[in-house]
Amino acid sequence: MSAYRCGLVAVVGRPNVGKSTLINAVMGRKVSIVTAKPQTTRHRILAVHTGADAQIIFVDTPGLHRKAGKAMNRLMNRTAASALADADVVLFVSDVTHWTVEDDDVLRRLKTCRAPVIALLNKVDKVHPKEALLVALQTMSERHDFAEIIPISAQKRDNLDQLMAIIPGYLPESPPLFPEDMHTDRSPDFHAAEIIREKLTLVLHQELPYGLTVQVERYVTEASGVSINAIIWVERDSQKGIVVGKNGGVLKKIGRAARLEIAEQLHRPVHLELWVKVKSNWADNEKDLLSLGYDVP
């Protein structure tokens, strides 16, 4: 009988290539929030997949990006880089339909990585004709000496079983690090804050989602359900008006969508109260970021 294996699998790539979608798909549950906007993932989130022969600990990371002007962007880059340093194997996710200079930046970092790197060409369901995929695979093989190159579709779940079968071979022999029934290292109040932020990002447009964050002040589980009080922090008074909306309409819409999803995940009623407050320039202040729950590697 082969020995049990367990290790860290860092999932990296430029913003918005499908890293969180991939992790949610292999986990069969929502561990990380997902939107079409870049930089939705801001935190390092562990997703623990326990099988009969291996425990795979996926590390969902913020997208590595060039423009690191604000403290939050620099912090997100450091978070992704520290996940790379700790990984036993790296999954490098790129969009098969187009390669960018940001992909080049990520690949440059990976060339100094000690762990084996598996390249995942995501969104293969968008490739037509299919012969173009062979060209993409050949081009990818010329970019770096990858341990494996696997075409996948995170959204359609194409080739994910193959990926999950391959990963344990790259992990060290080790007993599981987490209990069998544990799926993530993040707390219920963290997930509640993330779901609220996801709904904000989906409802609001332009640049505003990058100027706001969510902090859960109170999370109480009672016999009747879960009671949550949360603050939506914005950087300017003008942003507060946008988030609240006319007669509070936008805030009500966001609150209802978040409450319904949290209740669905918890399988119990949820009472959610939201406030919008201004904290000037919070995204460019490391002290504020720490107080708002951001990781500082």
DSSP labels, 12-65 = E-STTSSHHHHHHHHHTS--S---SSTT---S-EEEEEE-SSEEEEEEE-PPP-
Q: How far is CA 119 from CA 61, 96, 98, 145, 234, in A?
A: 16, 11, 15, 10, 37
Give the residue carrying structure tokens 């060039």: 66
Q: Where in the chain is the domain with CATH 3.40.50.300?
A: 5-170
Q: Which residues of 42-77 are buried (b: 16+ CB within 10 A; e: fewer)?
A: bbbbbbbbbeeebbbbbbbbbbbbeeeebbbbebbb
CATH number of the domain at 5-170, please? Answer: 3.40.50.300
**Per-residue pLDDT tens digits for 172-226:** 999 999 999 999 999 999 999 999 999 998 888 765 667 889 999 999 999 999 9
Q: How far is CA 135 from CA 14, 202, 261, 288, in A?
A: 21, 35, 41, 47
Q: Where in the chain is the domain with CATH 3.30.300.20?
A: 188-291
Q: pLDDT above 70 covers what percent of the chain?
A: 95
* CATH class of the structural domain 188-291: alpha beta
Mean pLDDT of 250-256: 96
Tell me how crowded residue 129 is: count the other CB atoms within 10 A of its CB: 6
**Per-residue pLDDT tens digits for 117-170:** 999 999 999 998 888 999 999 999 999 999 999 999 999 999 999 999 999 999
